[in-house]
Amino acid sequence: MDKEVLSFVVEKTHELMNAASCSKEAKASAQTWLDAVGTENEAAATKTYIAELEADIMPVDGLIGFAESGGVSEVVENGVNGALIDTMGDTDAFLQAIINIIRNPNRYRTLSENAKKTALNYSFENYVSFLIGLFD
């Protein structure tokens, strides 16, 4: 990576780490990458960093689709691991809920951490274990 690109990525990595929405895992991975820049560990740290960033991404279309699926209330606990909006299709209420979360970094962090824990309950590994348990 040339120096200009590296400088840009380092700058953006620091911005990410300072963002209230940055997860503990992403911060740790980012710091590991920063520490590895210019060393023999840089390539491995880069792969780990990118994998962590990809794990944290949820496309807006996917988020909206999930929110409109009707199954959200079975997974999301309002104020615990997400925000439930009473009126389906009310984009103003949806945007206001997002703004309220973003404006409160501690709330965002708590919701994010709890949402990740909830998501782990629905991982492929847990689903396979559940299916295997049905045959035992």
pLDDT in tens, 16-54: 888 877 888 889 999 999 999 999 999 999 989 888 887
Q: What is the DSSP string of 35-67?
A: HHTTSTTHHHHHHHHHHHHHHT---HHHHHHHH
For the stretch 121-131, pLDDT in tens is 777 677 677 66
Q: What CA–CA distances, in Å, run from 88 to 22, 73, 83, 97, 118?
A: 28, 12, 13, 13, 22
Indicate the average pLDDT of the chain: 79
Return the pLDDT at 50: 85
> 58: which 2 tokens?
């949820």
